[in-house]
Amino acid sequence: MNVTTKGRYALRVMLDLARHPDEGFISLKTIAERQDISMKYLESIVGALKKAGLVESSRGKEGGYALSRPPEDYPVGEILRSTEDKLAPVSCITADGVACAQASACLTLPMWRELDELTNRYLDSVSLRDLLTGDKWRN
């Protein structure tokens, strides 16, 4: 699994929105400045987040973006899957199953499937709130 810059930046955008709930809708310009992300790149990221229903938008002078639900209701896996083509550890595992002519004879496929399931289960167990507070990793 390799999370791209787009996925990492999507998490940063979502965290930025979660950290500033009292600001209402936050402009792309403000997010871009706070996160040091180019506006052009940010537009594609926020477009994917909006398409997935993870953020709401508002037009006009006071327009911008806001979370559509509380931070604890956002699994990190959902955010990453909204911007990443895939999170699987190997290219033959796809959202639709397995794309490999050798799948029926592949001795490593069960291991890769299990790793994919473990990865997704872990990412879905971490919420935006967990990232904000860090409590999940404190002993």
Please tell me the pTM assigned to this model: 0.89
85 CB-side CA count, 13 A: 8
Domain assignment present for 51 = yes
In this prediction, residue 17 carries a pLDDT of 97
Whether 79 and 8 have beta carbons less than 8 Å apart is answered as no
Tokens describing residue 87: 């999170």
Domain assignment present for 49 = yes
Domain that holds residue 16: 5-88+127-133
Give the chain's domain count: 1
Whether 41 and 31 have beta carbons less than 8 Å apart is answered as no
State the chain's mean pLDDT as an integer.
92
Domain assignment present for 26 = yes
CATH number at residue 50: 1.10.10.10
Tokens describing residue 10: 């999507």
In this prediction, residue 85 carries a pLDDT of 77
Kindly report, residue by residue over 56-113, the tens digit of the pLDDT. Answer: 999 988 889 999 999 999 999 999 999 997 788 888 887 777 778 888 888 999 999 8
In this prediction, residue 40 carries a pLDDT of 93
Distances (CA, A) of 72 to 18, 24, 38, 75, 128: 10, 18, 28, 8, 6
Domain assignment present for 111 = no
Domain assignment present for 38 = yes
| Contacts of residue 89, Cβ cutoff 8 Å, sequence gap at least 6 | 1, 112, 115, 116, 119
In this prediction, residue 102 carries a pLDDT of 83
Domain assignment present for 54 = yes
User: Which residues are paired to 127 by β-bridges?
Assistant: 75
Q: Greater confidence, 12 or 94?
A: 12
In percent, the amount of the chain with pLDDT more than 90 equals: 73
Domain assignment present for 96 = no
Domain assignment present for 106 = no
